[in-house]
Amino acid sequence: MKKSLSTYLRQLEAESIHIMREAAAEFDKPVLLYSIGKDSSVLLHLALKAFYPSRPPFPLLHIDTKWKFREMIEFRDREAERLKLDLRVHTNPQGIRDQISPITHGSALHTDIMKTQALKQALGEGGYDAAFGGARRDEEKSRAKERIYSFRNSSHNWDPKRQRPELWRLVNSHMAPGESMRVFPLSNWTELDVWTYIYLEDIPVVPLYFAKERPIVERDGALIMVDDDRLPLNEGETPEMRMVRFRTLGCYPLTGAVESTATTVPEIIEEIVQSRSSERQGRVIDHDQAGSMEKKKQEGYF
């Protein structure tokens, strides 16, 4: 059988392209937040299509917490080279100075300093007035409430009670200096749509998404991969090789793997269709308390 996009995916693709073009035309200095994950891969793929034969009229920005899986960084650099991307990488210098780590400082502080604060710094220093992100409404229930143009005040905070009405395809890009917009072209995509699109369009993704024997320790039910020797092993803990893959990618001690035998995109899709757990289940940071994603977003997290 031959691969071609379904009517529905073509509709989603066109909608996302429309959003990207609109933002590129309306904002002075947009940037694409590139997190290396599958959603970013799709977002980048769409950006390359949206402006063809021009190059995307904005750079890519990666917030490097220094705790990303090694394979993610390798993939990032390979893709940047292959696609000749204008990729900028930012790490919070304060975090490096204070040696902030999710292990010694806990996930909440690490996320705040190395992700939220770092993102604010990078957006401020770059003078970006709009940032594309790969967030989807089906990911999490506070995301389900977010607009396509998500307005942030000059402190980058989100006010969920005062979101701008967004009717039809019309979006409001008016802002005062210092304020900014987060733009989510993939709002209406689901996890299944993303993987089906990746399959049909042959979009490269980080190999960590595919099942493989990896060194794993089990902590509070989460399967944590021992990616390098920065992960201190508790007494009695020995990494064992288990067949796992990652459904979502974040900082390595904060992202749990799932047991899986899916080594190809079609197998991953099959696994998702049959799964009884949501995508973000492996994210330790989402489970601090109910509403924790919303709280992080209000503080400026993507």
How far apart, in whole angstroms, are the C-alpha atoms of residue 120 and residue 13? Answer: 29
**For other proteins, the closer CB: 7 or 99:** 7
* Cβ at position 39, least distance to other proteins in Å: 15
* Cβ at position 161, least distance to other proteins in Å: 6
**For other proteins, the closer CB: 36 or 100:** 36
**For other proteins, the closer CB: 91 or 298:** 298
* Cβ at position 68, least distance to other proteins in Å: 19
Element (H, E) at 32: strand 30-33
**For other proteins, the closer CB: 97 or 162:** 162
* Cβ at position 121, least distance to other proteins in Å: 25
Contact by Cβ (8 Å): 301, 111:
yes
* Cβ at position 66, least distance to other proteins in Å: 26
**For other proteins, the closer CB: 170 or 234:** 170
**230: Cβ contacts below 8 Å, ≥ 6 apart:** 67, 101, 103
Tokens of 118: 């770092």
How far apart, in whole angstroms, are the C-alpha atoms of residue 101 and residue 202? Answer: 35
The DSSP line for 87-153 is EEEE--HHHHHTT--HHHHHHHHHIIIIIIIHHHHHHHHHT-SEEE----TTS-TTGGG--SEEEE-
**For other proteins, the closer CB: 74 or 125:** 74
* Cβ at position 38, least distance to other proteins in Å: 14
* Cβ at position 245, least distance to other proteins in Å: 10
**For other proteins, the closer CB: 56 or 95:** 56
**19: Cβ contacts below 8 Å, ≥ 6 apart:** 148, 171, 183, 184, 185
Tokens of 30: 């947009």
Beta-bridge partner residues of 212: 244
How far apart, in whole angstroms, are the C-alpha atoms of residue 205 and residue 130? Answer: 25
- Residue 257 gets which letter from DSSP? B
Q: Assign 195 to helix, strand or coil.
A: helix
Q: Assign 10 to helix, strand or coil.
A: helix
Tokens of 219: 């902590």
